Amino acid sequence: MLDFHHEAQQFHSISSPDFKDKEILLEQFGKVKVGKGCIYIKSLKNVNIEIMKTMLENNVQAVKERYSVEK
């Protein structure tokens, strides 16, 4: 859920709009731009990598919960 956009020379994190603790984590994350479903990162040196890991884990969990299918 993290890719590098070579034309814009930045990373994009595609995220669920409602993952756990999103607003709190974004405040601690670092210098980024935030869109509705994306987080734009110009340089990894400007962000907290541990917060990024937590955000990605929370995002994956939110997607699993939203799209899980009961058997």
Q: Global pTM?
A: 0.75
Q: Per-residue pLDDT tens for 5-63? A: 666 677 777 777 788 898 899 999 999 888 877 888 888 898 999 998 998 899 888 88
- pLDDT at residue 1, rounded to an integer: 57
Which helix (H) or strand (E) is 9 found in, with range? none
Give the list of residues 6+ apart from residue 52 with CB closer than 8 angstroms, or none: 2, 13, 29
